[in-house]
Structure 1
């Protein structure tokens, strides 16, 4: 029997396993991942950015954990030689109407303790990113890029090295949970079953379904939003040095289409944000009847659609039009042409929606009997993974009496 079973091999599950194993080396931990590879969904398909903590409401779990987690993540990457670069980013305002929002996120950054941020003028923007155009901006020197899949793999490797009785199983999907006693559960997969004292579920895009299977009463539902990327061609890569972000629209839970230099040197542009008809569907036409039915029979989905109708239509048009995608990119880098961009990859983000159509913006982790469920871990959860893992470890110490 295992002491703790962690469901989900993304970066939050891996960081949680590592944090618990490091403090309690005698515990036998099982990690169950349904895919053939770790970090196969949100972790491995995000933009690879180490976020600073600029955007998040002061005092929120996102704000606190992003700043703490970022510092720990960078130190971890240095220690274990994980590909990363704290290269800084510039947030660019292109119109007068964006300046109040820019001021607001700058103030957020100050209150959240983001180091070294400064307001900059058009000339300074040009010095940092010569091909970008803006009337004002924010320089954020502590933002960076990292290999999140490599980080996840290293966290799991270190966990298994601490305790020989700990184990990871791949290509097994958790189907159900069974309470055997107050101190024992059975985790049932499509191939096997495992007895364990406690369970921690870090299910990402499947978080709500796994919670319900474990008897957690949750009114909200996870809805997936796909983000498509373009890449700059080899001939156009010189137009972006590091990271360039727009001033985000405060009405939407996304940061807008941005430019990111990845750790492999490629430049990505994106992502957009469109409702996906399959939670783990990365193609524009991917479809799951179950996922679509779940989403479209939920009142919160329709309320979100109706309250953001124009935004949603614009995003869908842009998803199928290279010309419209380019026009968005040209707001920041006007010299880009159709020949400068080529289709890239896609990712899917999990949004936890309330029945009124509002998004659960902050991290949400709940305890039930002998289980802990990570119900909502949107961006910047990858950046904050070690801080989130530490929070879960503290919850486990309290509730599981470790």
Structure 2
């Protein structure tokens, strides 16, 4: 193990691994280390999502989300083809089931056009022809949407990083950081033993722990990561052919989440979800999860109460459907009535790391913070997995600028 690295990347999710891989390509003679506290890469948000390679339907034109997603879709597909990773271009239908949703669909269609996405409006008859098991008044058809296993993508990316000479150090958690004029020191715990790692430049892609990592190095932040559980079900195997596309509802623009949808997975299964309920543990994927430190930090943060009260009605509705399975099924029956209660089988939940500011506002776009020798990805919301390659490129550009600005 080296005494000093040129770059250390904290976080072995797809954004961290993509960044390290691209740093090694950009600076081939440099030493680059990835530090990950789990025993494998992609164990949190990357490994607990719906596996969709998004086209960028929902995002504000001109935002980082819109830009990263559009470029990320192409880059992700190219990476998968280059490395023989299974990927399927199944397309997506956003289905309107009421007159109000038909109006919202028109606005969403215009946003798609503004973002340069290949879409078409289809009527009720066309929808029935494409999806006999789906009911609706009309839909937006998004042809560019695909599905993939992001855990597999991250593993292959980590392998490519290692082939270039990069190092991934697993089961290593960061306990302290200290920045000096010429380097950053990390105090890490590995197999019960504390050790020190040093680097000239640090990049932190810590996802659910992004706020804690930023404050650990002394950055003053005005946000906190609030965890929201996304609960899924898997459909019984007899329903593997129930849909040909991904089936999404038309989202309510007043709410921050997209709603329950039917998602074809790359292994041939179909998932239903996710909902969006309050999480009480940042890394709580089981049925009952409480972490007292996570709860205390959240409950003593003013932004939590403001955002919760702002969306109280929606939050209670989501909670009711979380504990009452028939309510969850009603959300699916809006557009697919052939699914019965017994068809909803257990499936692992995911946790969304949502940055919330002290005033209660949600951070919708990507958010970064930095010191002279560190760069922190503070908010990387969906479509971060789709966008991981251009996000890594963006981070590399910011690191390069830091090297110039501070003559490092």
What is the RMSD computed on CA atoms of the aligned residues? Answer: 1.1
In structure 2, C-alpha distance between the alignment counterparts of 1:292 and 1:92, rounded to whole Å:
37
Residues 1:365 and 2:368 aligned together: yes
In structure 2, C-alpha distance between the alignment counterparts of 1:91 and 1:120, rounded to whole Å:
10
Q: Secondary structure at the match of 1:373?
A: strand
Spell out the pairing of 1:135-174 with structure 2 (5 A cutoff): 135-163=137-165, 166-174=166-174
In structure 2, C-alpha distance between the alignment counterparts of 1:331 and 1:245, rounded to whole Å:
11
Q: CA deviation at 1:232?
A: 0.8
In structure 2, C-alpha distance between the alignment counterparts of 1:214 and 1:128, rounded to whole Å:
53
Q: Is the 8 A contact 2:333 2:339 kept in 1?
A: yes
- Describe the superposition over 1:43-93 as per-residue Cα deviations: whole angstroms up to 9, x where unpaired: 000110001011000000000110011111111111111121111010000
2:175 is matched with 175
In structure 2, C-alpha distance between the alignment counterparts of 1:336 and 1:159, rounded to whole Å:
43
Q: CA deviation at 1:335?
A: 2.1
1:293 is matched with 296
In structure 1, C-alpha distance between the alignment counterparts of 2:389 and 2:111, rounded to whole Å:
22
1:58 is matched with 61
Q: Is the 8 A contact 1:183 1:198 kept in 2?
A: no
Q: CA deviation at 1:340?
A: 2.2
Residues 1:236 and 2:239 aligned together: yes
2:188 is matched with 189
- The gaps in structure 1 that reach 5 residues or longer are none
2:334 to 325, 331, 334: 331
1:317 is matched with 320
**What is the TM-score of this pair, normalised by structure 2?**
0.96
Q: How many residues in Structure 1 have an aligned counterpart in Structure 2?
A: 398
Q: Secondary structure at the match of 2:46?
A: coil
- Describe the superposition over 1:211-239 as per-residue Cα deviations: whole angstroms up to 9, x where unpaired: 00011110100000001101110122221
In structure 2, C-alpha distance between the alignment counterparts of 1:188 and 1:106, rounded to whole Å:
50
Residues 1:276 and 2:244 aligned together: no
Q: CA deviation at 1:240?
A: 1.9
1:22 is matched with 25
- The gaps in structure 2 that reach 5 residues or longer are none
Q: CA deviation at 1:182?
A: 2.0
1:254 is matched with 257
In structure 1, C-alpha distance between the alignment counterparts of 2:138 and 2:50, rounded to whole Å:
24
In structure 2, C-alpha distance between the alignment counterparts of 1:33 and 1:270, rounded to whole Å:
28
In structure 2, C-alpha distance between the alignment counterparts of 1:253 and 1:187, rounded to whole Å:
36
In structure 2, C-alpha distance between the alignment counterparts of 1:383 and 1:80, rounded to whole Å:
16
2:208 is matched with 205
In structure 2, C-alpha distance between the alignment counterparts of 1:367 and 1:112, rounded to whole Å:
29
Q: Secondary structure at the match of 2:348?
A: strand
Q: Is the 8 A contact 2:239 2:270 kept in 1?
A: no
Q: CA deviation at 1:376?
A: 0.3
With 25-34 and 184-193 compared, the bigger mean Cα shift is at 184-193
**What is the TM-score of this pair, normalised by structure 1?**
0.97
- Describe the superposition over 1:125-154 as per-residue Cα deviations: whole angstroms up to 9, x where unpaired: 122221011101100000010110011111
Q: Is the 8 A contact 1:176 1:187 kept in 2?
A: yes
1:381 is matched with 384
Q: Is the 8 A contact 2:90 2:244 kept in 1?
A: no
Q: Secondary structure at the match of 1:239?
A: coil
- Describe the superposition over 1:267-320 as per-residue Cα deviations: whole angstroms up to 9, x where unpaired: 000000001110000123210000001111111111111111111111111111
